[in-house]
Chain A
Amino acid sequence: MNISQSLPRSMKAAAAREANPDPRARRRPAFLILLAVILPTAGFLALMTGPMDLSFAKVAGILSNRIGIGSASEFSMAEEVVVWNLRLTRVLLALLVGAGLAMAGACMQGVFRNPLADPGIIGVSSGGAMGAIFMIVLGSRLMPEAAFEGFRLYAVPVAAMLGAVAITWLIYRLSISRGQVDLVSMLLVGIAINSLGGAFIGLLTFMATDEELRTMTFWGLGSLGRANWELLLPGLAFILVPLFFLPRYARSLNALLLGEKDAAHLGIDVRRTKRHLIVLSASIVGATVALCGAIGFIALVAPHIVRTAIGPDHRFLLPASGMLGAGLLLTADIGARTIVAPAELPIGILTALIGTPVFLFLLLQRRRFQSIS
């Protein structure tokens, strides 16, 4: 009578498997497609919005003219500069930095085996800022002004990357005990490093001229306002190149979540993998800090949303976080540019407004979870 009873056992099992797969696994394709749709939409919106009122025809005309297709619409030089030099470079920088921060964050959280490991909170960004500041102060004292600009474009990111890597290594060494990363130690080390960073910035404040002083909020809250074609070059070199390598470590990161010993038993060369991952992710964070200051919480929020939606498997987590991080930063930057137009908000204010509640929620959830087990 009952059709299901007449089915062979194996088919029934197969049917059960189809009917009840992991909901997160089932969601993965849709989620990735959604991100792939949202991202260009956000990019388009960012190109279209700004304090200057420009029609779609005009933006499209300027872009196609620049690309070399030619265009019928008329536009002023200022409008062209706004679209091509300001908005487009800013969109590209936001994509690069957002994706970089989110993927580096996901990677660090894997290495530290803790979803709370945000590069801003644990002090990696401060390490980058210290490296950058050190190079700026050193460079401006030692180099002639003319040479300094070009030097600054590349030497400062490199110094920031070195600072971030060194600090990450320090945090890792100090917060690990018996092969496990201790959350409290990690956060405490972060507090210490961040106050050291604050002191460093204070020292610079002491040495800086009156004009330099006024750009100091940059290090604390970040801004994409420096975007230009020249800046995108070091961005590509120092963010996109390491980003390209990160997904190769997805399986190793999955194994690392089990703990370092278990990962080693699964055939992962833990020491080497860890070294690579720390260098790659910290370099990315350092480079973003040198280019746009310390933009907080993207590295925390994007991977968290992705994990909640489609699970912690790094083979999906890394690319999805990258896309989501880019989209989030792009959206936050639209806000930063328009909310108080024609003035601008530091973007870190917006990302902190979104990020802090997520961080606190994660902390709370963790406490609840620990009290159960």
Chain B
Amino acid sequence: MFATDHISVFRGGKAILDRVSIQLAPGELSVILGPNGAGKSTLLQALTRTLTPDQGEVFLDGTPLRELPIEELARRRAVLAQESFLQFDFSVEEVVLLGRIPHLSGWESDRDRDICSQALRSVEMDAFRHRRYPSLSGGEKQRVHLARVLAQLEDQREAADPAPWLLLDEPTSALDLRHQHSVLGQARKLAKVRGFGVCAVLHDINLALHYADHVVLMDQGRVAAQGTASETLTAERISEVYQVQAQVLCASNCPFVQIQSHHEKHALNV
């Protein structure tokens, strides 16, 4: 269970997060949504411990996040950043093996290599294993990093151990349509089949409607709504938060949001 208890973050006298309390359960794909500047990334950074909130507390399975040793934290949660700055000439496999660092004391074992192969297969990058990382396209790089964080989460766990968490910061931004769906499908499978906790920041409401079990809708540093996707993403709320005219439609049993812009609305009214 990942939870925040009234966390606030201030920058330059302004509250970027304002007493945010959320609860994310393992076994579900949770999605943080919101317009630009709503505080999505800041909230995720609080969850990843990249920043410590000025007020309030983040808990991972009941323990305050800041009290967990950083090495242990690395074995219990992995983070996929929006962009990567890796410029060195690693092979794809070596990049994925970097994900095993929290579990190693010396050299990688065959088991670590198998985990990496599996991770690469799951993102459809196993054919690229010996390619040089800098020679890949942006989307391919993103998938390699996804394989890296998947490999990071593999561990020998007892049934009673708390579920590991995968935190994704706009994982789809560099991907084409097919791989956007493949990544989120993968993420949901991780939650549903293996019981991992997964939390992703997304931009695309329709992807969220499609995949999310739980949605946190952010607006101006506050939680505008949270709950299941269909509960949270109502036409009224989307219209209010995003300041657009939205409709939730249904096509072949699958909801999607259609947007009319301010501009069009205005033009129609005239």
Contacts and interface: CB of A to CB of B under 8 A. Distances in A.
B102 interface: yes
Contacts of B107: 315
Contacts, number: 79
A267 B84 contact: no
A318 to B, nearest CB: 14
Nearest to A110: B88
Given A264-B70, A265-B48, A311-B90, A258 B85 contact: yes
A258 to B, nearest CB: 5
Contacts of A312: 88-90
A261 B74 contact: no
Query: Ordered nearest first, which 6 A-B pairs have the shortest CB separation?
Result: A267-B74, A312-B88, A265-B79, A267-B71, A259-B85, A267-B102
Interface in A103-145: 113-115
Interface in B112-166: 130, 134, 138, 152
Interface in B57-116: 70-75, 78-79, 81, 84-91, 93-94, 98-99, 101-102, 104, 107
- Of B50, B79, B101, B104, which is in contact with the most chain A CB atoms at under 10 Å from its CB? B101
A373 B101 CA distance: 28
A267 B101 contact: yes
Contacts of B99: 266
Interface of B: 48-50, 70-75, 78-79, 81, 84-91, 93-94, 98-99, 101-102, 104, 107, 130, 134, 138, 152
A22 B93 contact: yes
Contacts of B71: 267
B138 to A, nearest CB: 8
A251 B93 CA distance: 15
A262 B95 CA distance: 12
24 contacts: A21-B130, A22-B91, A22-B93, A22-B130, A180-B85, A257-B87, A258-B85, A259-B81, A259-B86, A264-B50, A264-B70, A265-B81, A266-B74, A266-B99, A267-B72, A267-B102, A268-B70, A268-B101, A269-B70, A311-B94, A312-B88, A312-B89, A369-B134, A373-B138
A257 B86 contact: yes
A79 interface: no
Contacts of A276: none
Given A265-B78, A267-B73, A251 B84 contact: no
Q: Is the interface of A mostly helix, strand, loop or mixed?
A: loop
B101 A251 contact: yes
Nearest to B167: A265
A266 B91 contact: no
Given A22-B91, A267-B72, 8 more contacts: A24-B91, A113-B87, A115-B88, A258-B85, A262-B81, A265-B78, A266-B98, A373-B138
Interface of A: 20-25, 113-115, 180, 251, 254-255, 257-259, 261-262, 264-269, 307, 311-313, 315, 369, 373
A313 B94 contact: yes
A114 B87 contact: yes
A264 B71 CA distance: 9
A289 to B, nearest CB: 27
A258 B78 contact: no
B41 to A, nearest CB: 12
A368 B75 CA distance: 38
Given A113-B85, A254-B101, A261-B81, A267 B75 contact: yes
Contacts of A262: 79, 81, 84
- Of B85, B88, B93, which is in contact with the most chain A CB atoms at under 10 Å from its CB? B88
Given A266-B101, A267-B75, A267-B102, A257 B152 contact: no
A267 B104 CA distance: 11
A313 B74 contact: no
A160 to B, nearest CB: 29
Contacts of B84: 258-259, 262
A311 B91 contact: yes
A257 B98 CA distance: 10
A272 to B, nearest CB: 10
A6 to B, nearest CB: 23
Nearest to B94: A313
- Of A23, A114, A257, A369, which is in contact with the most chain B CB atoms at under 10 Å from its CB? A257
B174 to A, nearest CB: 12
Contacts of B72: 267
Nearest to A267: B74
Contact of A255 (B48, B101, B134): B101
A20 B131 CA distance: 11
A175 to B, nearest CB: 14
Contacts of A307: 88-89
- Of A25, A113, A254, A307, which is in contact with the most chain B CB atoms at under 10 Å from its CB? A254
- Of A22, A115, A307, A369, which is in contact with the most chain B CB atoms at under 10 Å from its CB? A22
A312 B133 CA distance: 12
A353 to B, nearest CB: 26
Contacts of B94: 22, 311, 313
A20 B85 contact: no
Contact of B50 (A261, A266, A311): A261
Contacts of B70: 264, 267-269
A270 to B, nearest CB: 9
Contacts of B152: 266
